[in-house]
Amino acid sequence: MEAEDRHLIVTYCRFGGDNVSNLSSDDFSKIFPQHVLNRISKAKETFARLADSHADDEYMKVLLFGQQAAVGLRNYAVSLGLPEERIELDANCKDIAEMVKKIWNRIRTNPNPPRVYFILSNWQWVFIEPLLALKDERFKFYFEGAFDGRTTDEIEADKKLEKVAKIGIKQNKIGSMLDKVGGSVSSNLKG
């Protein structure tokens, strides 16, 4: 029986030149942009940190989301020391919002949803901010930012290709009312 997911390390690997032709080379820095390789390295660091704090890594998965080049990035992840059996690919992901939707559909009905660690470039947190601000104790979302050394113009062009991720979560009316009352009481106590 396969172990349940307790930790998902969700790594966004899409980049402008996703039509990579030479996936057989072992020189990954010549094939993939450095900011994407940095995200894979951050996923490895996150995996190692979680593995050190838990008895068994069988409950952890690293998910690589991108386009066709994600297959080659899997090889890079394995070369860094990530266990191949813990890596899953989605080579049909056009943007961050679609990646979030796929993760949300995977975990939303799970009675014990896993913790989700999003690995993105350090400036991309704004696209998953609704998840990070979610006030539902069942779901735990975290952001791990990877260094992105591209120029401001390159990053600005990349920003135009993305949109803020949105999820549909139904809160019960009593919980929503209690949040409002609690917020009101808290602000009154502050003066």
Q: How far is CA 179 from CA 100, 129, 131, in A?
A: 25, 19, 17
Map out the domains of the chain as residue ranges. 7-166
What's the pLDDT at 3? Answer: 59
Pairing relationship of beta strands 115-121 and 7-12 according to DSSP bridges = parallel
What's the pLDDT at 26? Answer: 65
Count Cβ atoms below 10 Å from residue 144 Cβ, excluding itself: 19
What's the pLDDT at 131? Answer: 86
Taking the C-alpha atoms of residue 53 and residue 107, their distance in angstroms, rounded to an integer, is 23
Please report the sign of the dihedral spanned by the C-alpha atoms of residue 71, residue 41, residue 2, residue 138.
negative
What's the pLDDT at 61? Answer: 94
What's the pLDDT at 155? Answer: 93
Do the Cβ atoms of 145 and 121 come closer than 8 Å? yes
Q: How far is CA 107 from CA 15, 49, 92, 167, 169, in A?
A: 26, 22, 19, 12, 12
What's the pLDDT at 116? Answer: 95
Task: Flag residues of the chain having pLDDT under 50.
Answer: 1, 172-178, 180, 185-190
What's the pLDDT at 14? Answer: 86
Query: At residue 144, what is the residue type?
Result: E
Backbone angles phi, psi at 89, to 5 degrees: -115, 145
Query: At residue 135, what is the residue type?
Result: K
What's the pLDDT at 190? Answer: 47
Nearest to 96 by CA among 184, 34, 15: 15
Taking the C-alpha atoms of residue 59 and residue 6, their distance in angstroms, rounded to an integer, is 5
Listed in sequence order, the residues at least 6 apart from 144 whose beta carbon sits closer than 8 Å to its beta carbon are: 42, 43, 45, 46, 117, 118, 119, 120
Taking the C-alpha atoms of residue 144 and residue 173, their distance in angstroms, rounded to an integer, is 32
What's the pLDDT at 174? Answer: 46
Q: What is the pLDDT of residues 99-111, one digit of tens each?
A: 999 999 999 889 8
What's the pLDDT at 168? Answer: 72
